[in-house]
């Protein structure tokens, strides 16, 4: 029998606990300049279960061509918080209007190999939703059920020989391959809400 899906207040409460334990504005290694950034982890409720919405980057973008990602990007000078960055970027990339997102919290920031300090912001979006996809940046918008993502048989941790860094890779889902920083953030979110 499948467990009852978490409610929005339960997810928010679990995220607040993790935030109090792990979040700090200064995760920057001394002498190592990192550029602040944020992504939105968009949650939606469909067919009786939670899903996460992902994007696949277009093949013509400068960085991370064709990779699965969350909507997000570098912090602009006018952004006063990671939430502001994540919501602005989600609007610019796939047309999710900030007023349509119910922000539930954050998970701990992550340093990427491209020297960004990325704060993942978790928010619920209505479903179905009329996206306005910026096709120069985004090739596809799709969802993966939380239960599938939390199944340990669907992902593995590999070690890159050249760097010695751990990389999380999921099995393909609907023709898409979730791996790297986005997979790592996904797993950290699932841990935060105690599904892993």
pLDDT for 76-99, tens place per residue? 999 999 999 999 999 999 999 999
For residue 1, being part of any structural domain is answered with no
- pTM value surpassing 0.85: yes
- Domain count of the chain? 1
- Residue 135 is classified by DSSP as T
For residue 165, being part of any structural domain is answered with no
Reported residue count of the chain is: 196
Nearest to 89 by CA among 143, 42, 45, 159: 42
Measured between alpha carbons, how far is residue 66 from residues 125, 136, 173 in Å? 24, 12, 15
For residue 135, being part of any structural domain is answered with yes
For tokens 């105690």, what's the residue? 194
For residue 38, being part of any structural domain is answered with yes
**Domain range holding 120?**
8-151
For residue 26, being part of any structural domain is answered with yes
Domain containing residue 107: CATH number: 3.90.79.10
- Determine the Cα–Cα distance for residues 126 and 194; give it in Å rounded to an integer: 23
Write down the pLDDT at residue 27: 47
For residue 161, being part of any structural domain is answered with no
- Per-residue pLDDT tens over the stretch 110-166: 888 788 889 999 999 999 999 999 888 899 999 999 999 999 999 999 887 776 778
For residue 140, being part of any structural domain is answered with yes
Cβ neighbours of residue 168 under 8 Å, at least 6 residues apart?
A: 155, 156, 157, 158, 179, 180, 183, 184, 186, 187
Cβ neighbours of residue 75 under 8 Å, at least 6 residues apart?
A: 35, 36, 37, 38, 82, 85
For residue 174, being part of any structural domain is answered with no
């Amino acid at each position: 029998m499948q467990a009852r899906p978490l409610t929005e207040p339960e997810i928010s409460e679990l995220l607040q606990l993790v935030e109090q334990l792990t979040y700090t504005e200064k995760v920057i290694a001394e002498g190592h300049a990192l550029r602040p950034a944020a992504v939105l982890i968009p949650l939606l409720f469909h067919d009786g279960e939670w899903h996460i919405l992902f994007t696949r980057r277009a093949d013509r973008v400068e960085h991370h061509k064709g990779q699965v990602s969350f909507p997000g990007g570098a912090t602009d000078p006018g952004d006063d918080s990671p939430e502001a960055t994540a919501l602005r970027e989600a609007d610019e990339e796939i047309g999710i209007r900030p007023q349509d997102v119910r922000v539930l919290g954050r998970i701990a920031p992550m340093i990427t190999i491209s020297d960004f300090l990325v704060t993942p912001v978790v928010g619920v979006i209505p479903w179905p939703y009329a996206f306005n996809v910026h096709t120069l940046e985004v090739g596809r918008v799709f969802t993966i059920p939380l239960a599938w993502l939390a199944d340990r048989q669907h992902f593995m941790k590999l070690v890159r020989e050249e760097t010695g860094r751990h990389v999380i890779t999921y099995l393909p889902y609907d023709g898409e391959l979730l791996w790297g920083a986005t997979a790592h953030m996904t797993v950290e979110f699932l841990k935060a809400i105690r599904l892993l």
